Chain A
Amino acid sequence: MSFRNFALKAVLAAAALSVALPSYAADPVKIGVGIAKTGPFAPAAIPTLNAYQMWADDLNAKGGMDVAGTKRPIQLVVYDDQSDFTKEAAIYEKLITDDKVDLLLSPYATPFHFAIVGVLERYKFPMVGSTAASVQLRTIKPGNIWFPTSAIPDKMGPELVSLMKKQGVKTVSISTLQSPFAQEMEKYVKAALTDSGIKLLSSQQYAMDVKDMTSIVSAIKKEQPDAVLSLSFPADSILFMKAAREQGLTAPFQFVLVGPTADFFGKIFGKNLDGVMTMGHWSPYQTKWPKGMPFFEAYSKKFNQAPDYLDVALAYMSCEITEAAVAKVGLDKEKLRKEISSTTFDTIDGPVKFTGVENSTTPTMFLQIQDGKPQIVWPPKEETAPFQKKGPWVN
């Protein structure tokens, strides 16, 4: 009996000791990610994963991650969600309970973020999000997830209308993909257009698996609007741009919602992308943000392609925020939550501070591709280059 008692105590003591002792420096910090490595979202998601990988490699090259004063190497634990957000909850649950990761980075795209909100809540696990934007994110209870984006439709709508007004736009035609984010955008742009003095000539939606946008573009061309807004996702953004070039759509203001910031988009359209406007709030050419250009150059060198100016920037920002918070308070979830909720972080996109779940410092901006480079053309305060009218399409 006494021996058993002793043994039990010894085991307990050993266990207590192993908890109490500071971890060895070599003990890696495990960081979990679930992301689309395969399936239709993979082309857009992989650059995001690249950003995570680059961040991890850089930190490891510098001796590891600063965990409240101790440097520890980091190890990414990455699973493929197969572009299926219904798998994401199980993946993050696995990361938390089975892999016992210390930190989490976010998956790619809004539905995938929304699909893990419940899991983060249940395990009280704080995570900085990245490529998610929707007015719905405000309905999420703050405390376990934060969204660094400033491209939220209810803010973008009015800003886009202000930008158009400043550029002397009198008439506008809109086409919208039947997908949550694009539809939100359409709703808030339309709301902002009433009483703006800009006339909405037409607004049409199209189904997800559209194969040919000729009739949409030819209808818009007939209306001869000053501004064309294509509220589209990469696949149909490509269709739209091709049809616009083919039919010679000459509106001086052409906005394409998602796509133009991606490297493959530039490869497909080359010079024809010049003058196209898109959403985004980061540019390496913003001299106010000294971290931006070195990041741009390092990424371009490492992966032999430019980072996506929207997605990759957001993914990297989420790494920077996580890193800074951990350096200050370590890995304790409660302390992390407090730190992330209250501190202003210095990122490649300038200072970021969260109010609730939302980034409340970065203003809503718009990018225009000029000479193959992403320039911030709105708001005036953040401008890296003045707005240019879309020139003629070239071969």
Chain B
Amino acid sequence: MKERALTIVSIIAALALFVGAPQIVNAYWLGVALQLLSGIALTQSWVAFSGLTGYVSLGHAVFYGAGAYVMALLWQSAALWEILVASGFTAAALALLIGYPALRVRGPYFVILTLGLSELCKYVVIAIEAALESSGRLLFDTPDPVFLYYIMLLLAVLATLLTWGLARSRWGAGLRAIREDETAASTVGVPVTFLKIMAFVLSAFIPGVVGAVWVLRTTFFEPMQLFSPTTSFTIVTMAVIGGSDGAPGPIFGAAFIVILSELLWARAPQFYLVLLGILLISFVLFIPRGIYGQLTALAQRRRA
């Protein structure tokens, strides 16, 4: 009971801190916080699908990129919130379109198929842009970073609630059953295909909106970068480091990576990346359940 109260208090404190941040910190740290929040939102969305089902998606960059593309196309021709919603729905629709065929394969086939699909979408967008004779899209008069920050905060909270709710629901139990043994789950009557596809679609919506917000921040759209597979790899890294079996993990993972990168990137960029590689390997080997998983395990041991 005491622990529960503590958790609630710390969540409220953290939220208050994030809400108040623009009044406290300078623009630079606000930028870091923006990165943190977008990391949380993306990783939560990934965990909601891949963490629970065990289907490792290397294709979340495509939802992010699709959202960014919708924003780049529609900016200044519709209201901001309309475009944001459109970005989310576009990403979700794309997930529905590719989810049905993609989710027929499992394991490594799914991993590489999602990577292939995301590359395919990238080159389709490049071909469309080439046909439109567009040479990258500059976005003018984009909103103030503080405003974007609050949108991103909302997205991070929504994504966290999504994963939290999903992980506790019957639906989530069904997804976990798929992760443990899909064939068995299916024989005991879990509607595996439906659950998987719906979770996939749901997990695509928020990355779409995040991409749309992010392109407002970068003020320039170019498909090679916004559909870059690096985005997908970063998301997976954050999930694994934080823990991918529920809502708390991604927060730890995103925070860890963003803070580490801030500490090292400016001073020793190449060393930072080498260290990131070493850390990634070490985490998989020694802390396979991620920071959060390890913390709970420690807490349980203490109680026992």
- A residues sitting closer than 8 Å to B (CB atoms) are 37-38, 79-80, 82, 84-86, 88-90, 93-94, 96-98, 110-111, 114-115, 117-118, 122, 134-136, 139-141, 178-181, 183-184, 187, 205, 207-208
Contact = CB atoms under 8 A, between A and B. Distances in A.
Contacts of B220: 85, 111, 114-115, 117
B22 interface: no
B142 interface: yes
Which 3 pairs between the two chains have the least Cβ-Cβ distance? Answer: A180-B135, A80-B269, A98-B28
Nearest to B215: A86
Given A84-B228, A98-B26, A111 B31 contact: no
B222 A111 contact: yes
B225 interface: yes
A174 B251 CA distance: 51
Interface in B2-50: 26-29, 31-32, 34-35
A94 B270 CA distance: 20
Contacts of A183: 130, 133, 135
A111 B219 contact: no
A82 B273 CA distance: 10
Interface in B127-170: 127, 130, 133-136, 138-140, 142, 144-145
27 contacts: A37-B270, A79-B265, A79-B266, A79-B269, A80-B270, A84-B225, A84-B228, A85-B218, A85-B222, A90-B32, A93-B28, A93-B31, A93-B145, A94-B31, A96-B27, A97-B26, A110-B136, A111-B136, A114-B136, A122-B144, A136-B138, A140-B138, A180-B134, A180-B222, A183-B133, A184-B135, A208-B224
Interface string B217-242: 11110101110101000000000000
B135 A85 contact: no
Contact of A88 (B145, B218, B230): B218
Main secondary structure of the interface of B (DSSP, over half): helix
A40 B7 CA distance: 44
Nearest to B27: A97
Contacts of A79: 265-266, 269
Contact of B269 (A82, A184, A208): A82
A94 B28 contact: yes
A139 B222 contact: no
Nearest to A117: B219
Contacts of A208: 123, 126, 224
A37 B269 contact: yes
Contact of A178 (B27, B130, B138, B225): B130
B138 A86 contact: no
A90 B261 CA distance: 13
A95 to B, nearest CB: 9
B273 A38 contact: yes
B214 interface: yes
Given A38-B270, A115-B218, A139-B138, A207 B126 contact: yes
B21 to A, nearest CB: 14
Given A38-B269, A86-B226, A180 B136 contact: yes
